[in-house]
């Protein structure tokens, strides 16, 4: 539902072995904080200060995620809600995804998750499949290194039928699932915003792609886009009942919902509320502005959505972690050319607001 086509202006068993490997990665993440504390120098003649316990990262604290009932749950089976940010298209704003910016997201913003948006068209993946796969993996690795989960977003927009890119999707998700099959920090979003196509067509696509991922990574959560720009059909005159009555035939999946608060009012909010009573839902994209990520922020309506998602433990990522000129980009224009990422001085109004909510 955000701006789609305008580029930036100016610029034992196999499964058992996988689970053991994932546990080893989690243990390594926890150990990192301990090692850092042990290496802190002590002044000569001074009594060593007691080391403060290192705060566990989201990934170390929660481990392998799964869908239990209608909730996203951690390795202990407890419901969790991830909060974080989505990148902009990495063909345009790769310069905004750096070691410094991700340090800020993980430590200053205290985010749990980074959504990595790999556009398929619009000068994206189709122009250089190997290059964009490598770029996505670089950003996923960087998120994992900082203890955040990563959502790999297959950002299909136009054409709106995900089946049009079925072959490309199979190639991309095979590569991603092979690389991350032993990692607990991965979620796969297989179709960003289907539009102009029936739910049955979207469902058919999902039932072709999910087995491709499961063949390599049987444990990871898969996020399935819903029709009408991931609105459960509302933007094209339908509602969540089509998904409720005809769900995707797969386990360990969630359905995605997108909203832009200045445009998507009570009908959308009520749809999210009803749908999440019956289906596992992950809000992989939202903004406080209009559907194009532009214009004035409606923080009052946005807070109504956030209150609902907090009450129902619905995970979310906000659009977007860039310095795009639109009001929906959190950084002031030009920030990504510099080296300062922390605090509120580099943020637009929406950035200040969403950072505060992630830190809560």
pTM for the structure as a whole: 0.88
pLDDT at 55: 76
Give the dihedral of Cα atoms 320, 97, 189, 198; nearest 10 deg. 50
Residue spans of beta strands (DSSP E) within the chain:
66-68, 71-73, 83-86, 113-119, 149-155, 186-189, 221-224, 253-260, 281-287, 316-319
**Can you say how many angstroms the Cα of residue 296 is from the centroid of all Cα atoms in its chain?**
24
- What pLDDT score does 50 carry? 52
What is the distance between the alpha carbons of residues 263 and 173, in angstroms, rounded to a whole number?
A: 32
pLDDT, tens digit only, all 360 positions of the chain: 554 445 555 443 444 444 445 544 554 444 444 333 323 333 334 445 555 456 799 999 999 999 999 999 999 999 999 999 999 999 999 999 999 999 999 999 999 999 999 999 999 999 999 999 999 999 999 999 999 999 999 999 999 999 999 999 999 999 999 999 999 999 999 999 999 999 999 999 999 999 999 999 999 999 999 999 999 999 999 999 999 999 999 999 999 999 999 999 999 999 999 999 999 999 999 999 999 999 999 999 999 999 999 999 999 999 999 999 999 999 999 999 999 999 999 999 999 999 999 999
Q: In whole angstroms, what is the distance from residue 292 CA to residue 94 CA?
A: 20
> What does the pLDDT read at residue 39?
33
- The residue among 318, 333, 295, 321 whose CA lies nearest residue 11 is 333
Identify whether the C-beta of residue 181 lies closer than 8 Å to the C-beta of residue 18. Answer: yes
Residues 6+ apart with CB under 8 A from 37: 51, 52, 54
Angstrom distance (rounded) from CA 153 to CA 87: 10
Q: Are 193 and 202 in contact (CB under 8 A)?
A: no
pLDDT for 20: 46
**Residue 360 corresponds to which tokens in the numbers above?**
């809560």
β-sheet bridge partners, residue 138: none
pLDDT the model gives residue 13: 41
Residue 36 phi, psi (nearest 5): -60, -45
Residue positions annotated with a catalytic role:
193, 285
């Amino acid at each position: 539902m955000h701006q789609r086509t305008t580029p930036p202006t100016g610029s034992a068993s196999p499964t058992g072995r996988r689970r053991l490997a994932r546990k080893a990665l989690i243990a390594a993440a926890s150990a990192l904080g301990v090692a850092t504390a042990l290496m802190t120098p002590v002044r000569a003649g001074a009594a060593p200060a007691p080391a403060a316990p290192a705060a566990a990262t989201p990934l170390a604290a929660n481990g392998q995620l799964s869908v239990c009932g209608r909730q996203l749950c951690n390795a202990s089976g407890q419901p969790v809600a991830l909060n974080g940010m989505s990148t902009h298209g990495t063909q345009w704003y790769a310069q905004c995804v750096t070691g410094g910016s991700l340090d800020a997201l993980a430590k200053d913003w205290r985010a749990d998750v980074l959504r990595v948006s790999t556009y398929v068209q619009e000068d994206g993946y189709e122009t250089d499949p190997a290059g964009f796969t490598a770029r996505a993996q670089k950003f996923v690795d960087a998120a994992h290194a900082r203890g955040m989960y990563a959502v790999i977003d297959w950002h299909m927009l136009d054409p709106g039928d995900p089946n049009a890119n079925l072959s490309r999707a199979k190639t991309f998700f095979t590569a991603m699932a092979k690389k991350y099959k032993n990692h607990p920090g991965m979620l796969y979003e297989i179709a960003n915003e289907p539009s102009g196509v029936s739910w049955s067509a979207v469902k058919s696509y999902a039932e072709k792609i999910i087995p491709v991922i499961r063949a390599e990574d049987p444990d990871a959560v898969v996020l399935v886009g819903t029709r009408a720009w991931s609105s459960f059909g509302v933007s094209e005159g339908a509602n969540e009942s089509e998904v409720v009555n005809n769900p995707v035939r797969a386990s360990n999946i969630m359905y995605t919902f997108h909203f832009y608060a200045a445009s998507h009012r009570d009908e959308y909010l009520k749809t999210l509320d009803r749908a999440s009573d019956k289906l596992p839902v992950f809000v992989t994209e939202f903004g406080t502005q209009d559907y194009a990520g532009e214009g004035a922020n409606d923080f009052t309506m946005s807070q109504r959505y956030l209150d609902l998602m907090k009450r129902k433990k619905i995970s979310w990522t906000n659009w977007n972690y860039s310095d795009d000129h639109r009001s929906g980009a959190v950084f002031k224009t030009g920030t990504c050319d510099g080296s300062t990422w922390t605090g509120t001085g580099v943020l637009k109004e929406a950035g200040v607001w969403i950072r505060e909510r992630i830190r809560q």
